[in-house]
């Protein structure tokens, strides 16, 4: 990600280079590697220009070349895809500067970022398939039985799914990140200067935090008809004033989902068990769920 930001900052890429990357991106909807002729077609460059630009972006390590077959072909790597996403976010004036990495997980990285007005946001970048494509089962319902499963497509769908969820919940003014914008595999959202529950040694008022979390889960269920689906101490952020943000909404399900009850129970039990073990706060998950 830092490499992509440096390339854009130093203006080492021309719009013609970006068109080459976008041409490969379009071609990857059909196959992992895209032939030179198809890249020429999608980028609308003459063949000489195509070959020149391909050599340049390959030298910048934005694409990977496959020469094992008769036709030389190329595919984007993660840096190349990051370049396209960042470029669009900057062009749309959603962000202007990239900050340090503030979180790293199996499925995503999170960076600090800023816009032209010095508003500080979080930039979430999906990295589905970084370790294994076995982790994308939750997306199968809207992959439409595609024969070719591009990692670009999977990560773009993941970002869109979470951005749509945040947009729906934010309308209710609840304790979830405010969605600012998204492009490809990237989401820009509000940032709370805090840390995940799991990393606190002690909370000032754990009972108050616990009740606030349960209230938010209940309101989201009742008002937005949504269940988080993966709730726990690693996706609830708390600051030193007791404000919370419930994050990571990729695995959310609607309240009319066939397994909604069991998924809701798992979320509630995860929260109750955490506060019981660490802060000795007694609660009854069954009674809490019945109040929903």
Residues annotated as catalytic (active site), given as ranges: 230
Calpha distance 151→231 (Å, rounded)? 25
Q: CB 225: neighbour CB atoms within 10 A?
A: 14
Is there a contact between 231 and 267 (Cβ–Cβ < 8 Å)? yes
In angstroms, the CA 5 to CA 87 distance is 9
Q: Is the dihedral of CA 253, 254, 258, 261 positive or negative?
A: positive
Instruction: For residues 244 and 232, give the distance between their C-alpha atoms in angstroms, rounded to a whole number.
Output: 13
- How many Å apart are CA 274 and CA 31, to the nearest integer? 45
Q: Are β-strands 194-196 and 236-239 bridged in parallel, bridged antiparallel, or unpaired? A: antiparallel
Q: Is 195 helix (H, G, I), strand (E, B) or coil?
A: strand
**Closest by alpha carbon to 186, among 86, 107, 62?**
86
Place of tokens 């909604």: 260
Contact, 268 vs 288, CB < 8 A?
yes
State the maximum Cα–Cα separation within the chain, in Å, rounded to a whole number: 71
Q: Which of 198, 264, 185, 279 is nearest to 232 (CA)?
A: 198
Residues whose CB is less than 8 angstroms from the CB of residue 213 and which lie 6 or more positions away in sequence, other chains included: 236, 244, 246, 271
């Amino acid at each position: 990600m830092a490499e992509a930001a440096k390339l854009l900052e130093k203006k080492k890429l021309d719009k013609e280079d970006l068109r080459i990357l976008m041409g490969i991106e379009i071609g990857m909807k059909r196959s992992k590697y895209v032939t030179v002729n198809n890249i020429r077609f999608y980028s609308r460059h003459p063949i000489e220009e195509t070959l020149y630009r391909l050599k340049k972006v390959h030298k910048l390590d934005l694409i990977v070349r496959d020469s094992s077959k008769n036709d030389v072909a190329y595919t984007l790597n993660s840096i190349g895809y990051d370049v396209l996403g960042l470029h669009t976010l900057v062009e749309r004036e959603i962000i202007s500067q990239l900050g340090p990495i503030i979180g790293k997980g199996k499925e995503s990285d999170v960076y600090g970022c800023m816009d032209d007005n010095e508003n500080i946001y979080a930039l979430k970048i999906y990295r589905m398939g970084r370790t294994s494509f076995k982790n994308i089962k939750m997306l199968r319902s809207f992959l439409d039985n595609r024969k070719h499963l591009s990692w670009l497509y999977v990560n773009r769908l993941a970002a869109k799914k979470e951005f749509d969820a945040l947009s729906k919940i934010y309308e209710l003014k609840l304790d979830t990140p405010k969605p600012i914008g998204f492009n490809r595999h990237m989401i820009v959202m509000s940032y709370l200067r805090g840390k995940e529950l799991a990393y606190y040694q002690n909370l000032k008022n754990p009972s108050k935090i616990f009740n606030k979390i349960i209230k938010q889960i209940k309101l989201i269920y009742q008002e937005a008809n949504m269940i988080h689906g993966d709730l726990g101490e690693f996706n609830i952020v708390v600051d030193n004033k007791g404000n919370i943000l419930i994050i990571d909404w990729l695995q959310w399900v609607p309240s009319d989902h066939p397994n909604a009850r069991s998924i809701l129970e798992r979320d509630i039990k995860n929260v109750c068990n955490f506060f019981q073990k660490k802060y000795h706060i007694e609660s009854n998950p069954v009674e809490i769920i019945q109040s929903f």
